[in-house]
Structure 1
Amino acid sequence: MRPVLFEDNPSFWFETLRSFGHIAYGGADFGEVLTTAQRIRGGDFDSWYDEWLATADRVAEVAREAEQAGHRVSAHDAWLRASNYYRSAEFFLHGNPADPRIEHAYQASVTAFRSAAALSDRPVTPVEIPFENTTLPGYFYEAPDDARGGPHPLVIMHNGFDGTAEECHFFGIPGLVERGYHVLAFDGPGQPGPMHREKLPFRPDWETVVGAAIDFALTREDVDPERIALIGLSMGGQLAPRAAAFEHRIKAVVAVDGVYDIAENFIRDIPGTTREQKAALLRAEHAPEVDAQLEQAITDSSVMRWALSHGSWVFGVDTPRQVLAAMLDYHLGDGIAEQIKAPALICDAAGDLFFTGQPERLHEHIADSTLLTFDDKLGANAHSHVGAQRLASARIADWLDDTLRPAA
């Protein structure tokens, strides 16, 4: 899909397309996104924040007025959109985690989403999942009872490198609930909730995180322990399969999109002919030539500028080289992928900005896996299929139906 806005800035266009895509499940309205984007100065992070915050504040005021007047449906819809716009506002600011604008917009996003949840037709309950010495924030969506009765299948969903548990809603959760699935969406370490609350960075042993979510879900009698699926979005396309390799209570896993090795595409231009040689440079006490190379990449590429600045925050490191070194731990090599026993759906975006070729690599290493490629014929070829959310969500849910549901 060719950029319609921000033609010279792939990051700004992708994030705009992301909000356009969220229209599908109530996270945006076309005119609100378009007029906001038209006010933004391309490549200017401050302008991006100012304009998205202004739109979010306006829509939040619409929500408040509707709620005060007793118009629950209008208020619910406006709170959802405001939540997404606040999320977008602070997206590019993480190069300076102390910037107070980050916390302001994030908290406003969570508050708006919880206001929407309280007005939802079906129960959407904020939850705290016990995890080691803390808790992980999330939401439990209750499916409607069906004629068969009994416990429901459960879909656990988490985002990736930068998305929130709240944003998972716009990646198709309402469609899953409509089909009869309970859904538990949550933020793990490195993701916004734990990062904002206690600066808890990413960790590669994601099975411990998902295991805690499963333990929590199974305290409910209406969850079927034999029909638990896991969906990971974006970087979650590596984290979720990693969890499935060790946590065999997962009966189906979906990677949107599949990632075999998080670092591989990012370290391609680092000197060295082998991964080990590149790793040695990235982990060295001093590597001035690599540092200079990465600084140039930040200057040349808006994608690298954002990825490395955000990565410093969520991995808990200080320099671009340390970000890439941290990424090295997030892979499914050394036989990890081969330990996945559950059926796997590996989604592939033909025009992915970040992980081109990774879904195919993962597919090669999982015996019981299906590769589902989305191209540009229906505008679905972007990372995580933003811009084609209804199409992608339907195909994923159809696969879950075929995989988890017994014959009627």
Structure 2
Amino acid sequence: MHWLGGSLLMGALMAGAMTACGSDDPAKPPPVSGDDAGDGGGAKKPWWNLGFQDDLYNEVTLFYLGHAWGQQSDVGEVLETARRVDESDPKSWTREWRKTADRLMSVGQESESRKHPLSASQAYHRAATYYRAAMHHSVEPLSAQGAAEYRDLTRKEVDAFAKFLTLSRSPCEVVKIPYESTTLPGYFCKSPGAASRAPVLLYMQGRDAWAEDGYTMAEEAMKRGFHVLMFDGPGQGQVIRLQGLPFRPDWEKVVTPVVDYVIARPEVDPDYVGLYSLSMGGYLGPRAATKEHRIRALVPNPGVIDWYRNMAAALDPQLLALVDSDEAAFNAKMDELMKASSFLRWGIEDFMWRHGVDTPAKLIKDLRRYIMTPAEVANITANTLVVDAEEESRGQAKELFDALTSKKEYLKFTAAETAQFHDQPGAEAIQTQRILEWLEGSLAKAP
């Protein structure tokens, strides 16, 4: 349901293009069912509708409400900030979330000055979350001003999160992972209850979320005796904003240095490495595992075998055909649509920025590289849990599951669990429980 990782964002921004091109089947919000359908007295709003006309805003807000379970946000702060957002103003989202983040930084600074480090750490933690939220819409990364704002917000987020780790005495530490000619940012979380050499879970998000969004999962994994390494790769989090490194399809070139780094740590048992990857990571994680066979347990949420299909399915076929027959005409048509919709313009430019291209046609051609063949999937040796959801809009979990030849299981989250949407926003408790129970059986060392 939520757009982190590009799923609902893809559907929302491309729905505008489909409608403008004459399609009679634009992307639709999840259907209302059961009690939410109401009766003769008038339909009720679905429980996840938080008052926005655009379901995208509802879904992103739900994602941050879900963070409250792990104290990464607070319910009132999220709802009050969302209430201030003006849907008619493309810059309103960033402005209002930044205001809330700045206010929480002041709260943290005041608590810290009064020698209340735990209170300060909690305020800094929520501030970091809201700085990340501010970057999910309307900042324009392709402009010099937008890029500067991204860097400023990112540095504030990194600083707030680091203050949280220090003042809370978190078992997680900031690390730098050697990667080609540079490093990747990450957080190594050492389980206080783990044996000297324990299993490690690599946590990786997708297109829009950050490593820091995995802190709740890391805490729950540490309670179960796992060490955790949360990290950002190219195109993600700090890496795209401060280092300018775009996505790459050969994700094994990212994960292999991460595995090299983590198994060299004395706390880690090199034979017990797991990888949990979300949203676009539902493609990137399995892609890495086709070549990186030191991964013992793999959890893609949702399973994806062909990331490009998401874009192709969302675009009008006649418009898409222009990419090969008349690239200039395709770009001109997309430019026309982007001028008519500030939201569409932001979405396309955001995709181009993350993929390191400068035209919509080049974006389409780059996305075509994010496909695994069944033969490549068959190279995965990890024990794999393929995650699905009842109203998953962009995943291909069953297709990936069927193509796997390694030991595998299939998990579908349901509406009864309030976890039926993409990546289970607002349902972190049940999501975390189910994923970690499987990992305890598949990654934990035998007693």
> Per-residue deviation at 1:378?
2.5
Q: With the length of structure 1 as denominator, give the TM-score of the two structures.
A: 0.91
Please tell me whether the aligned partners of residues 125 and 160 of structure 2 are also in contact (alpha carbons under 8 angstroms): yes
Q: Does 1:214 align with 2:259?
A: yes
Aligned to 2:443: 404
Residues 301/239 of structure 1: CA separation in 2 closer, same or farther (3 Å cut):
farther
- 1:28-53 Cα offsets, whole Å, 9 max, x none, are 10000011111111253311111111
8 Å CA contact 2:296, 2:382 repeated in 1: yes
- Structure 1 counterpart of 2:410, from 356, 371, 376: 371
CA-to-partner distance for each residue in 1:232-287, whole Å, 9 max, x for gaps? 111111101111111000000111221111111221255669xxx96x74356625
The root-mean-square deviation of aligned C-alpha atoms, in Å, is 2.4
Q: Distance in 1 between matches of 2:152 and 2:316?
A: 41
Q: Does residue 329 of structure 2 align to residue 288 of structure 1?
A: yes
Q: Distance in 2 between matches of 1:55 and 1:390?
A: 25
1:155 equivalenced with 2:207 (yes/no): no
Task: Please give the alpha-carbon distance, in whole angstroms, between the structure 2 residues aligned to 1:5 and 1:58.
Answer: 23
Distance 1:66 1:406, change over 3 A: same
Correspondence 1:114 to 2:153? no
- Unpaired stretches in structure 2, ≥5 consecutive residues: 1-45
Contact 2:139 2:149 in 1 (8 A): no
Against the structure 1 CA distance between its residues 371 and 267, is the aligned structure 2 distance closer, same or farther, given a 3 Å change threshold?
A: same
Counterpart residue number, 1:337:
377
Are positions 1:65 and 2:105 aligned together?
no
- The unaligned stretches of length 5 or more in structure 1 are none
Kindly tell me: are residues 238 and 269 of structure 1, through their superposed partners in 2, closer, same or farther at Cα, counting changes over 3 Å? closer
Letter in 2 for 1:37: A
Q: How does 1:61-210 map to 2 (within 5 A)?
A: 61-97=106-142, 98=144, 99=146, 100-146=148-194, 149-170=195-216, 172-210=217-255
Structure 1 residues 6 and 333: alpha-carbon distance in aligned structure 2, compared to 1, 3 A threshold: farther
Contact 1:76/1:119 (<8 A) preserved? yes
Deviates more, 1:315-324 or 1:340-349: 315-324
* Corresponding position of 1:313: 353
Cα distance per residue 1:58-95 (max 9 Å; x no partner): 11111111122222221121111000001111221354
Paired AA for residue 333 in structure 2: A
User: Who is 1:26 aligned against?
Assistant: 71
Change in Cα spacing, 1:66 to 1:269, as seen in structure 2 (3 Å) is closer
8 Å Cα contact 1:36-1:55 kept in structure 2 = yes
Shift of 1:295: 5.3
Q: Distance in 2 between matches of 1:300 and 1:93?
A: 12
State the identity %.
35
| Partner SS, residue 308 of structure 2 | coil
- What whole-Å deviation, never above 9, does each CA across 1:93-132 have from its counterpart, x for those lacking one? 3543331322221211111011111123442111110011
- What SS does the corresponding residue of 2:270 show, helix, strand or coil? strand
Change (3 A) 1:121 1:227: same
Provide the C-alpha distance between the structure 1 equivalents of 2:439 and 2:226, rounded to a whole number of angstroms: 10
Contact 1:110–1:166 (Cα < 8 Å) also in 2: no
* In structure 2, C-alpha distance between the alignment counterparts of 1:268 and 1:6, rounded to whole Å: 28
Q: Counterparts of 2:168 and 2:271 in 1: how far apart (Å)?
A: 28
**Partners in 2 of 1:238 and 1:298 — Cα distance?**
31
For residues 196 and 265 of structure 1, the distance between their equivalents in structure 2, rounded to whole angstroms, comes to: 24
Structure with the larger RCO, 1 or 2 (CA within 8 Å, 6+ apart): 2
Cα distance in 1 for residues equivalent to 2:410 and 2:317? 31
**Cα gap change, 1:270 to 1:378, in 2 (>3 Å):** closer
2:306 alignment counterpart:
261
The count of residues paired between Structure 1 and Structure 2 equals 398
Shift >6 Å, 4+ stretches: none
SS at match of 1:255: strand
Q: TM-score, normalised to structure 2's length?
A: 0.83
Distance 1:399 1:159, change over 3 A: same
SS in 1 for 2:313: coil
Kept in 2, the 8 Å contact 1:124–1:140? The answer is yes
C-alpha separation between the residues in 2 aligned to 1:296 and 1:352? Answer: 27
